[in-house]
Structure 1
Amino acid sequence: MLHFSRLSQLLTGALLGVLASGTQAAAPTPAPDALQPLLATINERLNLADQVALTKWDSGKPIQDTARETLVIANARRQAIEHKVDPEDAAELIAAQIEANKLVQYGLLAQWQAASKAPDVPRPDLNKIRPQLDELQNRLLQQYADFAPYRVDPDCPAWLAAQRSSLIKDALHGQALIRATGELCIAEQ
């Protein structure tokens, strides 16, 4: 009887050890240092969408600007090589940023149309915003290159969700940030 009791204790201890080690393995690893600057730049670019929306409101120009978008994506493909990023990955990243920015613009214009007015704030010049967007694109591609090795990590979606949530200022920008970062993590298949 004493032998059975000791065996039972050993098996229980071993089972608890396995469960405990499984719990520790399930905890996500800390996010890489490369993620926060990348998300900050994406968010900075999204915040410029508010100013772009104001210029579109004032000018009556459409949000969709296919010629400009094509040029920006082509530039990203060219810049990708100097940043050691696959040109197609760079194009997808920048296309996601453009779509996220348009999401903010459409949302803000809809809000302003419902209110029959845009905010009474100083109006930016779109020609002064574009160089800022170009500079952000260059920084974004470098930060993307720094983060690229972590894209396939199984913890990537958890890191992204945790760090993205601290940047969300409202529902519209939150949805846009989700769109802008939607392809940062790659699930292995």
Structure 2
Amino acid sequence: MTLVVRSASLALMSMVLLGPTAAGADDAATGVVVPDSGDRAGLLALVDLIVRRLSLADEVAAAKLADGRPIADPVRERRLLDAVAALAARSGTAPEAGVRFFRAQIEAGKMVQRGLHARWRAHPELRPRRHPDLAGEVRPRLDRLTPPLLRLLGETEPVRASDGRCWSGLAAARLAVEARTGLDRLHRDALDAALAPLCDPAQADRVT
């Protein structure tokens, strides 16, 4: 995933900065299938929401460090995945696709938490001074993101299933969001994990 994003970065950044080109046009220099503006809009919204969810992992990490809680919470994770499966079924998204996607979001969030805990233990001066209420404040905000994430997962299914368009569209969306949010290396690596289920890995060679 990371290699795909970086190999096409110059061409895709031009797409982001210069605006839409012809729908489905091939970039002769890179072999990237340029997604149409509708594709970009849906994937951009999805990546943006994924990054918003990842940013809440910082607050989860701060709360757990203050309370001495472990990062992994199998009971909470199982409850979330069961809820996702039920909600996906009601919304017309395949439950297994929703569960696979949210399992990746959980693992990405734990990557951020582990990285931050290691950083804060090595550099106590960097520890956050504010310790948010995990159950009363942070988790409700996480839970409010679940329905729109599932909705966007379903809405982007046609482009994500389309040969070549998923990888190029996702790379363009990622570059746009990263340029706006300035993610550090830890959060970029976690974003790799969060985005991993969205495209068919077999398509990767078509856009490198």
| Bin for the TM-score computed over the shorter chain | 0.7 to 0.9
The alignment's TM-score, normalised by the length of structure 2, stands at: 0.75
Q: Give unpaired runs (5+ residues) of structure 2.
A: 1-25, 204-208
Q: 1:70 aligns with which of 74, 78, 81?
A: 78
Give the superposition deviation at 1:30: 2.2
Task: Check whether the contact 1:55–1:124 (CA below 8 A) recurs between aligned residues.
Answer: yes
Partner of 1:182: 196
Alpha-carbon distance change, 187 to 121 in structure 1, aligned in 2, over 3 angstroms: same
Aligned to 1:166, what secondary structure does the other structure show? helix
Whole-angstrom distance in 1 between the partners of 2:188 and 2:30: 30
Partner of 1:156: 166
Give the superposition deviation at 1:81: 1.4
Larger deviation, residues 43-52 vs 113-122? 113-122
Q: Is the radius of gyration larger for structure 1 or structure 2?
A: 1
Q: Which protein, 1 or 2, shows the higher relative CO under an 8 Å CA cutoff with sep ≥ 6?
A: 2
Partner of 2:111: 103
User: How do 1:29-68 residues align onto structure 2 when only pairs under 5 Å count?
Assistant: 29-31=34-36, 32=39, 33-68=41-76
Partner of 1:119: 127
Task: Check whether the contact 1:57–1:118 (CA below 8 A) recurs between aligned residues.
Answer: no
Task: Check whether the contact 2:27–2:34 (CA below 8 A) recurs between aligned residues.
Answer: no
Larger deviation, residues 133-142 vs 26-35? 26-35
Give the superposition deviation at 1:77: 0.1
Alpha-carbon distance change, 139 to 22 in structure 1, aligned in 2, over 3 angstroms: closer
Aligned to 1:23, what secondary structure does the other structure show? coil
The percentage of aligned residue pairs carrying the same residue is 36
The one-letter amino acid paired with 1:30 is P
Q: Deviations over 1:84-143 (max 9, x none)?
A: 100000000110000000000000000001013553442211011111111101110001
Question: How large is the RMSD of aligned CA atoms in angstroms?
Answer: 2.1
The alignment's TM-score, normalised by the length of structure 1, stands at: 0.82
Q: Deviations over 1:153-188 (max 9, x none)?
A: 212112212221333310000001110010101256
Alpha-carbon distance change, 64 to 187 in structure 1, aligned in 2, over 3 angstroms: closer
Q: How many residues align?
A: 169
Aligned to 1:34, what secondary structure does the other structure show? helix
The one-letter amino acid paired with 2:33 is P
Give the superposition deviation at 1:78: 0.3
Partner of 1:132: 141
